[in-house]
Amino acid sequence: MNTRSYLTIGLVGPDRTGAIAAVTQHLFRIGANIESLEEQVARGKFRMTLLASWPSQNLHEPAIRRGLEQVARNLRMRLTLRIAEGGRARRKLALLVSRETHVLDAILREWKRGGLRADPVLVAGNHPQLGGIARRYGLPFRAINYRDRVRAESALQEHLEKSGAELIVLARFMKILSPDFVWHWKNRILNIHPSLLPAFPGASAYRQAYDKGVKIVGVTAHFVTPDLDQGPILCQDALRLRADEPLDSIIARGQKLESACLLRALKLCLSRQLDIHWGRVHGV
C-alpha cells in the first residue's frame, strides 16, 4: 500500500512580497503536493500555515528541512516543521498544565488503560506542581518560566519540536498563547473552557455564571485561535444547578464535566473524522 507523509509548515515574520510564492515554488520543485494553505497579514506581521504531502518513499526529511530553513532565512521569518506518517495510527500528544490536576489525571488514566489512539510525549507547565504526576506516568516534565512570554514560548516551542508532538492539549493551562505561537499550531491546540461558550469567556467562568444566577452551566472543548475563547467548537456538555448550590460545589461538578468533555474532543481529533470550515467543526 502506498502511504503518504505529511509536513505541516508554520511561518511567521514581517510581511514581505512573495513570501507565499517562495514557499510554494520551493515545495513544487521538491515534488510536494500542497493539501491546504491559510495565511493572514495583520499590522505588518505575516502568518501562514501550510500542509504538504509526499509519497512516503520520496520523503527525505533532512533535505526538505534544510531547504525550507533556507527559504525562511531568506524571508527572515520563523519556521516550524512537523512531519507525520499518514499510515501511522498513533499520534504524539503534548499536555500543557498549570496547577489544576483533574484534566491531566483524566487524560493520563485514559491513556494508560488503552483508551487513546495517541501517546503523550511531553508534559509542560508554567508551575512545577504537576511534575510529580507526569513522572509517575513515566513522562518528561518541562517547567516553563512565564515571566517573559516571548522567551517562554520560544522555550516551549523548542521542547515541542524535540518531543515530536503533533497535537497540543491545554489541560487547564492558564496562560494566554500569543497569536504567533497559535499560528504555528493552527487547529492543533485543544482547550477546555468552563462555560457554554460564547457565554462567560475569559477568566473565572464559574464565578461569572454564579454571579449571574444562571440555572445551567457547562463546558466547551474547542480549538485555540488567536481570539481568546473564540475557536471552533468540538463538543459541549452541561449540568443543571441545584437550588442555592454553592460555588465550590458548582466548580467540583464542573471539573468532572471538563475532563469528560475534553476527552471526547481529543478522541474526535484522533479519529481524524472531522473537518473545519469557516470556523465550524464538521464530522466527515
pLDDT tens readout for residues 175-229: 999 999 998 898 899 999 999 999 999 889 999 999 999 999 999 999 998 888 8
Nearest CA among 154, 146, 195 for reference residue 173: 146
Q: Across the chain, which distance is largest between two alpha carbons, in Å? A: 66
Rounded Cα distance between 61 and 220, Å, is 37
Class of domain 4-85: alpha beta
Place of cell 510525549: 121
- Cell (9 digits) for 195: 462555560
Q: How far is CA 136 from the centre of its chain?
A: 24
What are the Cα distances from residue 47, in Å, to 80, 181, 236, 266, 267? 12, 10, 30, 26, 29
The residues of the chain that CATH labels 3.40.50.170 are: 90-185, 188-284
Q: Average pLDDT of 239-256?
A: 94
The superfamily (CATH) of domain 188-284 is Formyl transferase, N-terminal domain (3.40.50.170)
Nearest CA among 96, 117, 272 for reference residue 187: 272
Residue 275 has pLDDT above 60, yes or no: no
Under the banding of pLDDT at 50, 70 and 90, the label for residue 272 is low
Rounded Cα distance between 182 and 180, Å, is 6
Query: Do residues 104 and 266 touch, judged by C-beta distance below 8 A?
Result: no
Residue 139 has pLDDT above 70, yes or no: yes
Q: What is the pTM of this model?
A: 0.84
- Cell (9 digits) for 162: 524535540
Residue 231 has pLDDT above 70, yes or no: yes
Residues with catalytic function = 229
Q: How far is CA 130 from the centre of its chain?
A: 19
Q: Three-state SS for 251?
A: helix
pLDDT tens readout for residues 39-86: 888 888 999 989 888 887 777 778 888 999 999 999 999 998 887 765
Nearest CA among 114, 125, 205, 230 for reference residue 169: 125
The structural architecture, per CATH, of the domain 90-185 is: 3-Layer(aba) Sandwich (3.40)
Residue 132, C-beta contacts closer than 8 angstroms, at least 6 positions apart: none
> DSSP secondary-structure letter at 58?
G
The residues of the chain that CATH labels 3.30.70.260 are: 4-85
What are the Cα distances from residue 200, in Å, to 45, 203, 206, 264? 30, 8, 8, 22
